[in-house]
Structure 1
Amino acid sequence: MDSDSEDSFEFEVEDETTHVGGDGSVVPNSLSRSQAWNLYVSHAFSTWNARGYEFAAILFTAAAYPDTLVAAALRMIIVYFSMILFSGWVGNWVEHSPNRLRTLLSTIIVNRGSVILGSFFWILILSQQDLVGDEASFVLPSNAVIKGIGFAVAVTFGIIERLSSSGNLISMERDWVVTVAAPVGQAYDLTHLNAVMRRIDLVCKLIAPILIAAVISALGSIRLGVVFTGLTSLFSIPVEVFSATRVWNSSPVLQAPRAVPPPPQPTAATQSRSWLARTRQYFHGFEMYFSTVVWVPSVALALMHFNMLTWRATFITYLINVGYSLNTITIARAVGSVFEITSTVITPRGIRYLGKTRRRHARLPSDDDDESGVGLIAGDHEEDEGEDRDVQTVVGLQRFGLWGASWQVVNTIPVTVALWAISALKEDESLSAVARRVVGEQASPNLAWSIILFSFLALSRLGVWVFDLTTQQLTQTLVPAHQRSSFAGTENSVVNIFELLGAVAAIAFPRIEQYRWLALASLVSVVISWAMYADWVRRQRGHLVHWEKLAQGVRLR
């Protein structure tokens, strides 16, 4: 891979080291330890609730419709489709909201309210007689129509929960964090904040589902699990509001009014409120998205969400059906989570290391540049040192992101091969293995292939989250400030397009023996994602590998 850079390249880095206050004064960005910890606490509670309800809704749906996967698949498709339609609107709303605190608190209140109200309808669904029996203290008569209506309302609140969670994440990651981040190289710079907040997300992703499952198991009631989920959302509201308010009250740059983009001028088409006008307005967000310099890395990362060799419901169902115990799956998933969390530790170091370049010409556009396009020479002036650090950060992001995507491809190949081998062995089971299943014993998958499958699957998670972190910071850095939130909303729509395609593919190939083809499709999607990103880096950097230096090194040997 690219180990050094001596070429010219151009990109735009938004300056976030200062902020213009409401009185016109320039306020330098700074973040104290107390502010950072309050920011982390608010984000942790939001992420905990989002990750917990995401898992809980799967359990509630399975308990409400225990004899079919149709309800679970239908809920996933409806939620994904709604996110595709409305995520862009959420991002646009965040972008046009002048008060940062009011925007963030609105997402918190709406999110927690939707979970609490949704929990009420889940209780009604799960209290029907055919699901709880006659021995329960609170039982409702079974009624398929009422159950269907309750499920539809619960799914609707689930959509609101996902959209408000998305708005909270956009407001936090694309506005608050970028605004308060310290200059590059200082404590609490953007790379550090991104890594810590992603680490919080991954820890919540690991622990929140385990806690909910443990509570349901200990209490012996799925309905009490619903109550636990609703109460958790209720009690977290004051903590989140208090933490976010403390950060806002102590930060002049957050309190300063945002530069809100002017609303589009009304035309005859928009005034008519026709479906064609609304469609054009919807696709305007995609026009903006694909006009940015970083749409290729963003789409490449979104394509990773089609990958079905991840710990989603379909993959877990496949593993159970081929003979893996729930304990084995839980342990393997936990090991993978350790590698995911490790990515947040090594990414800042990798960005700094690979960003150390010996550049002859590195250019950042400025208003003083003439039409000849002659850039600044890093190090010529003391005032260029901050710009030089920004350049090095972007170089490090590009390089380390490519390493992450490459690591994902390299480790996905043996995962796919192992899954094909396990599926083939499953089909070729001997008569004795079939006989064991008849008497109630499940034939265990091949040990060697199982070790390969779970080892490389865990290693692959390191690469995908390195790629995720670096791409996130590239979009934070290279997308203009007045477009960040709208970009993030449209980006979320693109992510959900590939999530939806993955769900549809799982429905189109529902049999266990067909999962090998889904695994192959997943490998193809990962390779395409790598190719898109590698081509983008090549066009930005002018090369991927210094072949002349590689040849020189070979000759020296």
Structure 2
Amino acid sequence: MSLSTTSSESDPNQPEFHQDEIALDHPIVSITYSLMLQHLSSVATERTAEFAIYLFLIGVYPFDLLKPSIYGFCTTASTIVFASSVCRLIDIWPRLYLIRVTAFVQKSTVVLAYAALLLLLSYKSQSEPNNFLYGFVIVSGCAMRVSDVCRSVAIERDWLACICHDSSGDLTRLNTLIRRLDLSCKLIAPLLVTLLSSTLGPLKTLTALASFSVAGFFFELAWIHRVWNAFPILAENNQEVRQNSDQDDVELRVGQPSSARRLWYWLSDGCAQFSMAWIKFVKLPIFPSSLAISLLYFTVLSFDGSMIVWLKTQAYSDELISGMRGLGVLTGLMGTFLMPWLESKIGLIRAGGWTIWLQFLCLIPVVVSLYLEDLSSRLSMLKPALLFGGIALSRTFLWAFDLCQLKQFQSYPTAHTIAGLQYSLQNTFDLLRFLMMIRLHKPSEFKLAGALSLGSVFLASASYSIYMWRERGHLFHLHRFIDKFKKTD
């Protein structure tokens, strides 16, 4: 991996150190494992809590689907409101301090949410569930989600870009490793929680998960400190980041006062700063790419809660649903291998265009299957084949495109506040998906939700095509076809 050092003038009497020699002092395999282990602990906590809180809320309110829905709505809305403001801390606070704080907030809020659920389950048989404890779970979940966004932006868009510097190959490699960890945790976390709950019971499971979270905090501190020590450039570039942030503040706010009054301005001018940041974001050339990845969140054509509930209404077995969900994760992992190969063959921007349009094509038979009714016995397998096969294959191109868009944003010279706005935009469409399903909640209306989802994927593909056209000046190499046509004449 290409590593950067300070750009000071060298003494001619001293030997010159090159990047390859520095790499020998810091074996990339060892350092990569340190960073990945830290990320694994953080993502494992996030994915486990994400599934466990929903699961045990259903246990507390077995006949009330509204309570888990409210929890999901509030946590998603919190990221929309606070993501950009919190991510601005990446431009202000020292890198190591910020990661430590986000790790502490994540682990402490998860433990508090588990403790509240433990109390709710303990006294469930004696009285009605306590609304205060339920509200406490929601507040803890919101804080956890916001800290997760801040940590994701800090690691994926700041630390990785700084460590890799100008090495595009190293950045792709680390991006794909992180995405594979995300997908692996998404597959394993529900299985782990279900296994613990069925063997230990809900109360002991919550205690065990809380203990894992506390241990994970110290585990992350040790590994991230090792990465920090291995790459002095992280400390050296921190000053440059803070200086760039000050320049952005001049653009976003006129007459920025001393740092002692910054909190006051966050409170009094928060709305104005937020709107001006959005205006700046929309005007960026990369905005159509950000809009494309965000539009993909407005879809029910994946193995999420809405699709699973609908599948159960169609009499699909739990074993088949679990198997297909696992297949979707595996095909998503294939996308993390497809993206580097495509990038090496056709380039990053074109790879993004290919993958998002291929995802759209894969989802067409899925929507067609939703409208198939009363098939003959000979064609009875056609509907599930189109449905499950299309979704599984689309996950490959979804995650390949996600990696393409992530790398484009990492390479883009913009403040981390803007990265937070992209997360807010993604969660906005995720929130709209919740609202769509509240409106189209009947099983018979799910096919309409599927059609709207396909339309959203089409708009995402069109939006990315606009970005590709602006960056490359064309969408297709028409002159090559014209030249071939002339030769045939």
Q: TM-score w.r.t. structure 2 length? A: 0.89
Give the aligned partner of residue 81 of structure 2: 85
Report the Cα offset of residue 207 of structure 1.
1.0
Distance 1:142 1:450 in 2: 44
Aligned with 2:143: secondary structure?
Answer: helix
Contact 2:289-2:405 at 8 Å conserved across structures: yes
TM-aligned CA distance change 1:546 to 1:236, over 3 Å:
same
Give the aligned partner of residue 469 of structure 1: 403
TM-aligned CA distance change 1:276 to 1:258, over 3 Å:
closer
TM-aligned CA distance change 1:523 to 1:94, over 3 Å:
same
Q: Which string of whole-angstrom CA distances, capped at 9 and with x for unpartnered residues, describes residues 342-382 of structure 1? A: 1111211211111xxxxxxxxxxxxxxxxxxxxxxxxxxxx
Are positions 1:314 and 2:306 aligned together?
yes
2:316 aligned to which of 324, 329, 337 = 324
Partner letter of residue 395 of structure 2?
R
Q: TM-score w.r.t. structure 1 length? A: 0.78
Give the aligned partner of residue 118 of structure 2: 123
1:49-448 to 2 correspondences below 5 Å: 49-97=45-93, 99-130=94-125, 141-144=126-129, 147-181=130-164, 183-184=166-167, 189-219=170-200, 221-256=201-236, 257-259=238-240, 260=242, 261-262=245-246, 264=253, 265-266=255-256, 277-354=269-346, 396-421=347-372, 424-425=373-374, 446-448=380-382
Partner letter of residue 44 of structure 2?
W
Are positions 1:40 and 2:36 aligned together?
yes
Partner letter of residue 300 of structure 1?
A
1:520 aligned to which of 433, 447, 451 = 451
Distance 1:297 1:24 in 2: 39
Aligned with 2:81: secondary structure?
Answer: helix
Report the Cα offset of residue 225 of structure 1.
2.5
Unaligned 5+ runs, structure 2: 11-16
Distance 2:193 2:486 in 1: 59
TM-aligned CA distance change 1:296 to 1:185, over 3 Å:
closer
Partner letter of residue 213 of structure 2?
S
TM-aligned CA distance change 1:296 to 1:547, over 3 Å:
same
Report the Cα offset of residue 451 of structure 1.
1.4
TM-aligned CA distance change 1:336 to 1:177, over 3 Å:
same
Aligned length: 462
Please state which structure has a larger fraction of its residues in helix: 2
Partner letter of residue 518 of structure 1?
A
Report the Cα offset of residue 468 of structure 1.
0.6
Report the Cα offset of residue 540 of structure 1.
1.6
TM-aligned CA distance change 1:429 to 1:255, over 3 Å:
same
RMSD, matched Cα? 2.6
Contact 1:347-1:469 at 8 Å conserved across structures: yes
Distance 1:185 1:517 in 2: 42
Are positions 1:491 and 2:450 aligned together?
no
Unaligned 5+ runs, structure 1: 1-15, 131-140, 355-395, 431-444
Larger Rg computed on CA atoms: 1
Partner letter of residue 180 of structure 2?
R
Higher relative contact order (CA 8 A, sep 6+): 1
Give the aligned partner of residue 13 of structure 2: none
Report the Cα offset of residue 292 of structure 1.
2.2
1:459 aligned to which of 389, 393, 400 = 393
Partner letter of residue 138 of structure 2?
V
Partner letter of residue 71 of structure 1?
K
Q: Percent identity at matched positions?
A: 26
